[in-house]
Chains A and B, each alone.
Chain A
Amino acid sequence: MTEMHSPEFFASVPDPQGRFGPYGGKFVAETLMTALADLEALYRDLSTDPAFQSQFDSDLAHYVGRPSPLYEAARISDEIGGARIFLKREDLNHTGAHKVNNTIGQALLAKHMGKKRVIAETGAGQHGVASATVAARLGLECHVFMGAEDVQRQSLNVYRMKLLGAEVIPVTSGSRTLKDAMNEALRDWVTYVDNTFYIIGTVAGPHPYPMLVRDFQSVIGREARRQCLERNGRLPDALVACVGGGSNAIGLFHPFLPDEGVAMYGVEAGGHGVETGEHAAPLSAGTPGVLHGNRTYLMQDENGQILHTHSVSAGLDYPGVGPEHAWLKDIGRVQYVSANDDEALTAFHRWTRMEGIMPALETAHALAYAEKLAADMSPDQHIVVNLSGRGDKDILTVAAIDGIEL
């Protein structure tokens, strides 16, 4: 076990083929293979280039507002009476979620490649907003693909993207959610590959995306680790983050992976309950397969057709998950659990009322699980939850569920 948890072991993935054990890879149409190879070569050079790294760090400091605080949720921790819960406040980033860490990085890559047009897929709209934001800042043309159902339930973010100058394209094929938005973004990329950079919003997709998105998001875990040591003089006992595609979770988890004493929990969307089949929890209830350029756990039927998912949160409503999570599940380093719609909504209200922090519905899944986890732990133990995004975008959804007309 000691050897298995060495930093070198975790640094060994992905391998040069983009594999995390059996997961990951590059399962795309031939037309995109060269674009991926070019991106991989550029990223290999830039990731060790001090000038690129200092530009990235500077943008994160002055544009995003990093480092984000680590806040002790004292009132809720006291009431639970178990472990102390600390929140890594990604909701305080510019644009209100962790997504911008990645779009800043990928926009720098697009600039280096001389691409004038960027595209993005989005579920809850947070990645779309973060992409539209960096595109506005760099003067790039931006097209965001969004499932028609998500356009309805995330109308505030749709208007934000339009204000930022992006074109939002509602996707009406398939289940009309994030998965279909990603299909459409891939179709656009195949068509305009010469002048277009595809800003993928999560740690999925073909290699090198799962690697580079992880690297850009790992600033979350690096800061949290340092903040825990500075503030508490020790590492936390557990980390908790919600998992849709898994970018905020991998960002928090990755720098802690070699720290054997730190337990990790990825919380998937249980929807109406994993036992009902109406959920978005492929790691909890799926099987391995190939979708959107990588091999990973998927929600699929016995014929390999991708199943419709359900979650109250648009950002978690995805039938796949990043390949590194699939690998971390198999090797047992991270526990993947779920919280259902009702638990997430209860947590949304509770944290808003008791801590004055309104979490995104995605994040509320992590909080719901963290409450249960904390109750089973002792007051001298610490949990860090990635508060991955703010909930303003979800106000209309929550009001509708509560039967309130605004």
Chain B
Amino acid sequence: MTRLSTCFDALRADNRKAVIPYIVAGDPSREGTVTLMHRLVDAGADIVELGVPFSDPMSEGPVIQKGHERALANGISLRDVLAMVTEFREHNTDTPVVVMGYANPVERMGYASFADACAQAGVDGLITVDLPPEEVKPLNAELTRVSIDNIFLISPTTPEARIKTIVESASGFIYYVAVKGVTGAGHLDTAEVFSYMSKIKAETALPVCVGFGIKDAASASSIASVADGAVVGSALIDIMAQAMADGDTEQTAADHAIALLADIRQGVDHVSRGN
């Protein structure tokens, strides 16, 4: 059993849906990230998604782009991100951590070294935005060797025939990108998400979590009614960035994010428990 499958089994047994916050490692500060991860878990996160900062985050909207820029200004590398996971694991051995980023930092480290370093740090899953199934085989072989799940994105433009190809390479869970566009953009249409969700469910028994466009308890709650989990990123990063721009300390800024996540947890549980 991997941490991710244990986590989803427990949620299912409890008739609950997953709440998955995304933060950029090293944003707003290098020192604050691990504390923030623990606080997110305390506020109700089931899984933590840790963004690896990249100089050219092509799928991110302006909010997360700025998070990447701040983290890079703090000198955060892929090795630093993995060191944060190691530190997180000193006090938390249960909550799955998924690392999300772009191919080049992983390419640079080398697939085998990267897989070994992830396993050693206690990473559970990987999402690489620009490694579709066509390009992922060599990395997947290394991840499989160390039992780390590879999580793939499926988008509204993915044809049904292709869903099959994607789920064949996937493990852990499926990440459904609910809107065409970059992170933080767009308007969620729950009915559309629901109808597409059934196409994915027809091809795989893996949990399907939804991200892109979830901003608050209401949108998280409506997504939780049709999916196995809700990913929230831009809203958390934005609320912290705005607070810091207004002169708040990092701790106070994090308080706002934690309050938002607790709200989202409530919204999601409200649905899971059948209203």
Which residues of A does B touch, CB under 8 Å? 17, 25-35, 173-174, 179-180, 183, 186-187, 190-194, 287-293, 295, 298, 300, 302-306
Contact = CB atoms under 8 A, between A and B. Distances in A.
Contact of B104 (A28, A187, A193, A291): A291
Nearest to A302: B108
Interface stretch (B6-14, B18-26, B174-182, B229-237): B174-182
B103 interface: yes
Interface stretch (B30-38, B85-93, B129-137, B193-201): B129-137
Contact of B56 (A26, A32, A33, A306): A306
B77 to A, nearest CB: 4
B144 interface: no
A305 B157 contact: no
A180 B54 CA distance: 13
Contact of B109 (A30, A173, A304): A304
A303 B114 CA distance: 12
A174 B66 CA distance: 10
Given A30-B166, A190-B181, A300-B108, A305 B135 contact: no
A405 B162 CA distance: 59
Interface residues of B, number: 45
A230 B45 CA distance: 73
A84 to B, nearest CB: 43
B242 interface: no
A26 B132 CA distance: 8
A331 B18 CA distance: 50
B154 interface: yes
B55 interface: yes
29 contacts: A25-B134, A28-B130, A29-B153, A29-B155, A30-B155, A30-B158, A31-B155, A33-B134, A33-B158, A34-B159, A34-B162, A173-B69, A174-B56, A174-B69, A179-B56, A183-B57, A187-B61, A187-B182, A190-B59, A191-B182, A191-B185, A287-B108, A290-B107, A300-B104, A302-B108, A304-B105, A304-B107, A305-B77, A306-B55
Interface in B124-152: 129-132, 134-135, 152
A304 B106 contact: yes
B40 interface: no
B78 A27 contact: no
Interface of B: 54-62, 65, 69, 72, 77-79, 102-109, 129-132, 134-135, 152-159, 162, 166, 177, 180-182, 185-186
Given A31-B59, A179-B56, A183-B56, 15 more contacts: A26-B134, A29-B177, A31-B155, A33-B157, A34-B157, A34-B159, A174-B55, A180-B56, A187-B59, A190-B182, A287-B108, A289-B104, A289-B108, A306-B55, A306-B104
A209 B180 CA distance: 22
Contacts of B106: 304
Report which residue of A34, A180, A190, A300 has the largest number of chain B beta carbons within 10 angstroms of its beta carbon: A190
Contacts of B77: 303, 305
A389 B216 CA distance: 52
Contacts of A186: 58
Nearest to B53: A305
Nearest to B175: A30
Nearest to B76: A303
A17 B134 contact: yes
Contacts of B61: 187
A252 B51 CA distance: 42
Contact of B130 (A17, A290, A302): A290
Report which residue of A30, A33, A187, A190 has the largest number of chain B beta carbons within 10 angstroms of its beta carbon: A30
Contacts of B57: 183
Contact of A293 (B109, B130, B155): B130
A30 B178 CA distance: 12
Given A173-B65, A191-B181, A305 B155 contact: no
Contacts of A33: 132, 134, 157-158, 162
The 7 A-B residue pairs with the shortest CB-CB distance, nearest first, are: A304-B108, A304-B105, A303-B77, A191-B181, A31-B155, A290-B103, A306-B55
Contacts of A288: 107
Contact of B55 (A25, A27, A287, A305): A305
Nearest to B57: A183
B157 A291 contact: no
B196 to A, nearest CB: 13
Contacts of B56: 174, 179-180, 183, 291-292, 306
Given A25-B135, A27-B135, A291-B56, A193 B180 contact: yes
B134 A30 contact: no
Contacts of B129: 29
Nearest to B156: A31
A183 B65 CA distance: 11
Contacts of A289: 104, 107-108
